[in-house]
């Protein structure tokens, strides 16, 4: 590990990352990311992502680091980079036309894309809708498929609702640039949550055929954000209680691990752990608890799983010792006393 600072100093980033990944220590990995990112701050991360992508599992660690640091710029570039890599991979493979959900990535969507981009720079909604309509017509004409034009029509529907919402909130200039998820979140957090607002959003979900798990995940995140932003202590407690009620619902449309991530994003580790521990699959539950640094609960999960093979038990305990702070030994010793292992 003594080589890493020297490698960074002589700009051998890929080798430094390789040593950091081999160490398996998340603190070392994050330190290397931090040092490398300083050289790219404010510009394009493409060259760095190319290097990261060559190292097994490294880009996943970088994505988690970006989430932890709330670096939206880096996250956005990671997503763009991975999307381009997937497109390049798909272009080299034979497309199976029998698969309904495959999209021909070799199509040139330049014209409709530019029309859509241009629509969001128009001075009025009337001009915006004209550009969106032209984009839909271009898609129908050139690709003989109304799927894409239907998407444009749905975008126009969202714009109309955004316009209505903007009239009541003229000081919020971001409304008309919001994505569907951002718009729903604003509606569910930006004003008193009445039954009429919820009905309107459910109607929007049905109009746009938004899958229930997607919609309710957005709604769950909105509830977490509302609790996080509450300034009054009682109001904040009440809103987190609402979130806790959503976690406790039977047959929830939102996956428990997703709930856990969103609670962590909202700064409520206690509810995040509550949600994570409801996940039925042991491996995913254990991994998420480690990612959330819920070391006591991670230890409890390992010792409570009587079906866990001896090697897996040892591997999981080793991971807790490797990634957790020194005091995890106290948790392990206490669990060993209780379980007699």
Burial 48-65 (b: 16+ CB within 10 A, else e): bbebbeebeebbebbbeb
Same domain, 19 and 67: yes
Tell me if 284 is assigned to some domain.
no
Q: How far apart are the C-alpha atoms of 252 and 311, rounded to whole Å?
A: 34
Q: What is the pLDDT at residue 247?
A: 93
pLDDT at residue 98 tops 60: no
Residues of the chain with pLDDT > 90, as a percent, come to: 19
Query: For the residues 118-133, what does the mean pLDDT come to?
Result: 68
Which has the higher per-residue pLDDT, 152 or 339? Answer: 339
What span, in angstroms and rounded, lies between the C-alpha atoms of 31 and 241?
A: 37
Domain end: 173, 197, 225, which one?
A: 173
The mean predicted confidence, pLDDT, of the chain is 77
- Short-list 229, 283, 296, CA closest to 257: 283
Q: What percent of the chain has pLDDT over 70?
A: 67
Residues 125 and 71 in one domain: no
Indicate whether 249 belongs to any domain. yes
Rounded to an integer, the average pLDDT of 173-186 is 64
Buried b (16+ CB within 10 A) or exposed e, 99-125: eeeeeeeeeeeeebeebbeebeeeeeb
| Domain span including residue 183 | 179-279
Rounded to an integer, the average pLDDT of 182-207 is 68
Tell me how far apart the alpha carbons of residues 217 and 219 are, in angstroms, rounded to a whole number.
5
Quick check: 72 pLDDT over 60?
A: yes
Region 324-328 average pLDDT? 91
Report yes or no on 97 lying in a domain. no
Distances (CA, A) of 270 to 217, 277, 292, 293, 335: 19, 11, 10, 11, 21
Per-residue confidence (pLDDT) for residue 107, from 0 to 100: 43
Asked whether the predicted pLDDT for residue 236 surpasses 50, the reply is yes
pLDDT of residue 108: 45
Q: Which of 250, 279, 308 is the last residue of a domain?
A: 279
Q: What pLDDT is attached to residue 17?
A: 85
Instruction: Give the mean model confidence (pLDDT) for residues 72-85.
Output: 75
Looking at per-residue confidence, does 183 or 165 come out higher?
A: 183
Greater confidence, 194 or 338? 338
Of the residues 247, 279, 311, the one at which a domain ends:
279
341 or 250, which is more confident: 250
Q: Same domain, yes or no, for 262 and 313?
A: no
> Measured between alpha carbons, how far is 175 from 166 in angstroms, rounded to an integer?
6
- pLDDT above 50 for 238: yes
Q: Are 249 and 202 within one domain? A: yes
Average pLDDT over residues 43-50: 81
Residue 19 is assigned to a structural domain of this protein? yes
Structure confidence at residue 158 as a pLDDT band (50, 70, 90) = low
| 75 vs 331, more confident | 331
* pLDDT for res 329: 92
Top-confidence residue, 136 or 193? 136
- The SS3 call for residue 15 is helix
Mean pLDDT of 290-310: 88
Residue 154 scores a pLDDT above 90 = no
Mean of the pLDDT values across residues 142-157?
Answer: 57
In a domain, 94, yes or no: no
Whether residue 143 sits in one domain with residue 217 = no
pLDDT at 46: 82
- pLDDT value for 297: 94
Domain count, the chain: 4
Q: Would the pLDDT of 195 be above 70?
A: no
Q: Is residue 99 part of a domain?
A: no
Q: How far is CA 302 from the centre of its chain?
A: 27
pLDDT at 174 over 70: no
Most confident of the following: 48-57, 63-72, 82-91: 48-57
> How confident is the model over 193-212, as a mean pLDDT?
71
Least confident of 28-42, 119-133, 275-289, 303-317: 119-133
Which of 63-67, 163-167, 252-256, 321-325 is predicted least confidently? Answer: 163-167
């Amino acid at each position: 590990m003594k080589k890493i600072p020297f490698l960074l100093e002589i700009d051998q980033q890929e080798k430094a990352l390789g040593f950091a990944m081999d160490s398996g220590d998340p603190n070392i990995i994050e330190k290397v990311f931090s040092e490398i990112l300083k050289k790219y701050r404010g510009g394009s991360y493409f060259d760095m992502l190319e290097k990261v992508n060559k190292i097994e599992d490294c880009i996943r660690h970088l994505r988690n680091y970006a989430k932890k640091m709330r670096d939206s710029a880096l996250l956005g570039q990671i997503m763009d980079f991975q999307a381009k890599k997937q497109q390049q991979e798909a272009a080299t493979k034979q497309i199976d036309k029998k698969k309904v959900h495959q999209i021909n990535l070799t199509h040139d969507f330049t014209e409709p894309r530019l029309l859509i981009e241009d629509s969001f720079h128009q001075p009025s909604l009337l001009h915006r809708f004209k550009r969106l309509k032209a984009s839909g017509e271009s898609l129908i004409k050139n690709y003989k498929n109304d799927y894409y034009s239907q998407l444009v029509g749905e975008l126009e529907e969202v714009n109309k609702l955004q316009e209505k919402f903007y009239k009541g909130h003229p000081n919020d200039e971001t409304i008309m640039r919001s994505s569907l998820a951002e718009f729903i979140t604003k509606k569910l957090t930006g004003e008193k949550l009445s039954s009429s607002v919820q009905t309107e959003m459910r109607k929007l979900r049905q109009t746009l055929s938004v899958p229930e798990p997607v919609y309710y995940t957005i709604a769950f995140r909105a509830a977490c954000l509302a609790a996080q932003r509450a300034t009054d202590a009682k109001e904040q407690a009440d809103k987190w209680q609402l979130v806790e009620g959503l976690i406790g619902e039977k047959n929830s449309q939102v996956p428990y691990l997703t709930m856990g991530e969103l609670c962590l994003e909202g700064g409520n580790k206690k509810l995040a752990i509550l949600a994570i521990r409801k996940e039925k699959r042991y491996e995913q539950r254990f991994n998420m608890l480690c990612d959330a640094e819920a070391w006591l609960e991670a230890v409890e999960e390992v010792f409570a799983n009587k079906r866990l093979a001896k090697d897996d038990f040892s591997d999981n305990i080793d991971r807790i010792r490797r990634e957790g702070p020194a005091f995890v030994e106290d948790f392990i010793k206490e669990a060993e006393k209780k379980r007699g292992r």
